[in-house]
Amino acid sequence: MRVPHSLYLVRWLKGRRNFCSTVGELTTCRELVPEMKHQMEQKWHNKLGDYRFNPSDTAKPKRYVLAMFPYPSGNLHMGHVRVYTISDAMARFYRLNGANVLHPMGWDAFGLPAENAAIQRRIAADTWTQRNIGEMRKQLEMLAFSFDWEREFATCEPEYYRWTQQLFLMLFKDGLAYQREALVNWDPVDETVLADEQVDDNGCSWRSGAKVEKKVLRQWFVRTTTFAKPLLEGLSDPGLEDWKDIIKLQRHWIGECEGYAFELPLVGDHKMKSVSVWTRDPAEFRKALFVAIHPANLLNSAKHTECVLENVIVKNPFTKEVLPVIVTEQIPFPEGCDTYLAVESEQNCKLAAKSGLNLSSNKKLKEESNDSGEDIIQQALAQGIGGHPVSSKLRDWLISRQRFWGTPIPIIHCPSCGTVPVPEQDLPIRLPTDSVGVPLAQNEQWLKVNCPSCQRTDCRRESDTMDTFVDSSWYFLRFIDAHNKQMMFDPTLAHRLMPVDLYVGGKEHAVLHLYYARFVAHYLHSKGLLPTSEPFKRLLVQGMVMGRSYRVASSGKYIPAKEVEVLDEKHNKAVERTTGEPVTMLWEKMSKSKLNGVDPLEVLREHGCDTLRLILLADVAPTSHRNWSEATFPGILNWQKRLWMTLHDFRELRTKINPENNKPPTTEEFTEQENKLWDARNYFTAGATFNYRHSHQLSVGISKMQGLTNAIRRASPDVVTFGRQYERALAAQIIMLAPMAPHFAAELWEQLVTAPHRVEREETNSSGLRWDGTVFDQRWPEIDEDFPLDLTFKINGAECCILKIPAKRFNQLTHQESLDLALKQEAIVKLIGKRPLRTSDFVLYPSCEAALNVDLDRAILEEGQDGQEPVKSKKEKKDKKVKKKKSLQVLHIGAELDAAVPVEQCDRK
C-alpha cells in the first residue's frame, strides 16, 4: 500500500520550528517562510481537483497532454522534474479552460539497465523494476503532478506486453515483420548476442570478459521502409505544430524517397536467402548485368577485395535471368548501400571484363526506352519483395534483442511448419519469473513448446525479445484505454482522443522514438484504427537542465563544488582549494560522473514543491537549456513573498471596514486607479494567455504575471479596501498562477474568498467567478469585451503600426476584414503609397493578438520609385528601422470600426 504524500510531509515537518502551527494561523503571518509553504502543500495536496479523464463527458473539448514516460531508475532527476512540470502546467491550464484532459503516466520498464542491476544484486528484474517504480511514483506524487494514475501501467507487465505481442503478430501477418541475417556482437563464453553498449572499449564482453566476435545471425526486422514515403510526406502535414527542427531531423533520417529497394532471391542453398538492392529506376532490371557488392557485405564471407563470387548467383525475379555477383570498391554505391545494380554501360562492361566475367553469351544490349518500370514495381509489391519508394540510406528496424528483460517475440519454430505465429488466444507469452539473468536462449524449460499448427512436441519458442523502442512505439495508445482486456485500445476512443494534442519530451528522442511511433501510427491508421496517420499534433521539446561542473585543468578530473574556490564567476576563473591548480568551470548536463547533479528532493525540502516548479519554469523558455543556479532563486522567492503580503494586506484592510460606511470613495484618483487595474488585468491576462496557449513560452507567462503583481501592489489603500477591479485583478492573478504553483494558488484563493466585506460577492457577481469553489473550480480569466487588443500591421515583415480593436470585434476578425479595415486607415494608406500589394498574410490568436503582413512590390522599393527613398546601406537601413520602431503609430479603432485616431505608444512593458 502506498504511503500518502501528506504523511511524508507530516513526518518531515515534525520538529521544525518557527512556523505557524495551524493552518488557520497562516493568515496571521505576513512574512512567507518555507515552512508555511510546506504547510500549504500538506493542506492542499489531496484537494487540487479531479485529474481523471472522463470518457463519458463528450460535451467538453478533449485535450490529450502527454509527457514522455520515464525509465524507472528509482530516482527522479531535474530533467524529469522539468518535463513533468511543463506538461502538468499545460494540463492544468487546459482544465481551467474547460477541457476534458487526459494526462497519464506510466513506465518504460524493460531494457538492459534493469537486467544488469538485477544480475548485480542477484534479484529478479521484475522485483527490481517494481521497487524502482514505487520509489519514483512516490516522488512524482510529492511534486503534485496531476497525472491520471488510474491509467498507470508498466511496459514490463504481461497485461501490457500482451498487446505489444499482438502488434507484432499484426505486422507479421501483413508481411511487415520478418527474419534475415545480420552481423551481431557474439559472446563465445555466455553464448549470447550483446548490444553495442555491452561491449567495452577493448572489445570484450561486459559480463564474461571474453573477446567479442562478429557473427552472422538471423534477426527480426520490421519493414518500416514500406511506409518511408508516407512518413516523409507526413512531415508536411499542416496539422503539425511546433515541430520546427524536428522535421529536419526526421527528414534527414528518412532521406529523399527517390528510388526503390528490392529483395532479390539468391539461387542455391545459402545462409542468406536474398540480397537487398536499391535503384532509382526500376526499369533498370530489364538491362541488369550483375550485382556488385562492397567487400564488407555479408555475402563476402571470405573477405575478398576484388573478384566474382563463385556459387553466389542472384535471380532477377522480373526477367527470370540470373545475375552474377562481383566484389569491388570501384563502383559508385548509392549512399548507405553496400550493393549496386549494374546495368549496361561502358564502365560496368569494363568492370565485368576486368573481373573475368563474360556476359556476351547470355546478354544482349537492349534499346533505351521510356519504360517507367511501373510493372516491375507492381510485381515486387505483389510478391512482397519491395517496390516501395524509399531512400537509399534508410534501413528496416532491427528489433531483435538477445536479452532476458524484454517483450518475448510470439513466434514458434517448428521443424515441420517452419516459422509459426503464436495463436492470439495464447497471448501473452510470459517471461519466466524464476530465473535471474539467464538469457531466454539458455532456458530450455521455457523454450520447449508444442507446435500450434501440427502439434509436434519438439518445437522451440523464439528466444529473441523485442527492442524497448517497440514498447514505446505505441504506449500513447494504451493510455487511451489502459484496462481493456479485449483489444489494444478501443478504436472509437482512439478516433475521439487522437492525435495527442501536446507531446512534451527531450530532443534526444527526436529521431528514433518519434520515427518508430510515427511508423506505428501510420500503420494502424492504414488499418482504420486511428483517425490520423500522425500521432502527435504539437511538440514541446524541452531543453536539458545543466549543472555547474568543475574540472582540474591539468588532469581533466571532475571535482565537487566544495573543493573549488571561485575567483571570478563572471570570467569563469577558479582554483582547486587544496592545490591551487586552475579549474575549468562549465555548464554541462547534470550527471553523477560530472559531480554536478542536484537532487530535486533536496530543493523540495528546502523551498517547497511549488517554488521548485516555478524556478524550473522561470527565466528561460522550456525549449532552452536551464542552467541550475541558486543565483536565479531570489526572483521567484520574492515574487511569492510579494503575493503573500498582498493577500495578507488585503485581508487586513477589509477587516477594518466599518459595515455602516462600506462605500467606495468617489474621488477621481480612486476611479483612475480602478481603471488602471482594469487595463492591467486585461493586458497581462492577454499576455499570459498567449504564452500558455500559443507560444508555450511559460517563462514569459511568468513575467506577464509578475507585471500584473506590480500593478496590483501599486494600488492605494482605498483601492485595496473598496476596489472591485482590484478584486478582479487579484482573482485573475491567482487563477493564472494555479497551473504552475497549485498549492500556493489554492491557499491564496482561499485567503481571497474568505476575506470579509468583499465587493464582488455571490449575489452581485458580474465577473463569472465561482466564489464558493476552489481555485480549480474557476475558469481561466477572459478578456473584457471592450478591451482593445493589438492587430499589428506589417509591410514586408516590418512592423509599421498597431490597430487597437475591442476584443468582442477583434475575435471575429477574418483575413479579408482585417485587410479592409487596415486599408481604411489614412496612416496606413500613406505608408503604402502607390506601391501595389502582392500578397497578405493574417494570423489571429483570439483574445491575445493578431498580425497582418502585406507584401508590396520589392522591385519598386529597391528602385526608389513613387516617391520612396532608394536603397541605402545596411547601417542606414538599420538606423532607419530603429527610428521607425520607436515612432510606431498606434491607432485606436472605435466600435464603428471606421474611425482611426492616432494615439501615443502604450508604455506598458
pLDDT band at 184 (very low <50, low <70, confident <90, very high): confident
Which string of b and e fits 140-175 if b means at least 16 CB within 10 Å? bbbbbbbbbbebbbbbbbeebbbbbbbbbbbbbeee
Q: Would you call 515 helix, strand, or coil by DSSP?
A: helix
Residue 462 has pLDDT above 70, yes or no: yes
The Cβ of residue 682 has, within 10 Å, a number of other Cβ atoms equal to: 23
Distances (CA, A) of 367 to 98, 282, 318, 372, 376: 69, 16, 18, 14, 18
Helix 742-753 and helix 724-737, axial crossing angle in degrees, nearest 10: 160
The pLDDT of residue 6 is: 41
Q: Quick one: average pLDDT of 464-493?
A: 96
Q: Which residue in 156, 184, 161 sits closest to 71, CA to CA?
A: 156
The pLDDT of residue 346 is: 87
Question: How far is it, in rounded angstroms, from Cα 480 to Cα 292?
Answer: 49
Helix 125-142 and helix 5-13, axial crossing angle in degrees, nearest 10: 70
Strands 213-222 and 837-845: unpaired
When computed from its CA atoms, the radius of gyration of the chain, rounded to whole angstroms, is 34
Lowest-pLDDT choice from 179-188, 196-205, 729-738: 196-205
State the residue for C-alpha cell 585543468.
Answer: 553
| Helices (H), ranges, 14-111 | 34-44, 78-96
Mean pLDDT of the chain: 88
**DSSP one-letter string for 394-433:** ---EE-EE--SSSPBP-EEEETTTEEEEPPGGG---PPPS
Count of CA atoms in the C-beta half-sphere (13 A) of 370: 0
pLDDT in tens, 631-689: 899 999 999 999 999 999 999 999 988 877 778 888 999 999 999 999 999 999 999 99
Q: Quick one: average pLDDT of 262-288?
A: 90
Residue 142 has pLDDT above 50, yes or no: yes
Lowest-pLDDT choice from 325-339, 344-358, 618-632, 866-880: 866-880
**Is the pLDDT higher at 857 or at 140?**
140
Residue 343 has pLDDT above 60, yes or no: yes
The pLDDT of residue 8 is: 43
pLDDT band at 909 (very low <50, low <70, confident <90, very high): very low
Q: Quick one: average pLDDT of 197-201?
A: 78
| Helices (H), ranges, 802-873 | 807-810, 815-823, 826-832, 858-863
Q: Quick one: average pLDDT of 616-641?
A: 93
Please enumerate in sequence order all residues whose Cβ is within 8 A of that of 375, keeping only pairs 6 or more positions apart, or say none.
none
The fraction of the chain above a pLDDT of 70, given in percent, is 90
Please state the pTM of the whole predicted model: 0.90
Cβ pair 613, 740 in contact under 8 A: yes
Q: Would you call 324 helix, strand, or coil by DSSP?
A: strand
Residue 863 has pLDDT above 70, yes or no: no
Question: How far is it, in rounded angstroms, from Cα 251 to Cα 515?
Answer: 10
The pLDDT of residue 834 is: 81
The pLDDT of residue 46 is: 86
Strands 465-466 and 573-576: unpaired
Q: Which residue in 210, 388, 193 sits closest to 282, CA to CA?
A: 388
The pLDDT of residue 900 is: 39
Residue 2 has pLDDT above 60, yes or no: no
Helix 609-617 and helix 698-713, axial crossing angle in degrees, nearest 10: 110
pLDDT band at 360 (very low <50, low <70, confident <90, very high): low
pLDDT in tens, 763-794: 556 678 898 899 999 999 999 999 999 999 99
Residue 224 has pLDDT above 90, yes or no: yes
Domains in the chain, CATH or no CATH each: 256-359+373-390 (3.90.740.10), 545-608 (2.20.28.290), 631-658+665-760+767-777 (1.10.730.10), 788-856 (3.10.20.590)
Residue 362 has pLDDT above 60, yes or no: no
Grid cell for residue 881: 528601422
**Which DSSP symbol is given to 867?**
T
Grid cell for residue 135: 520509489
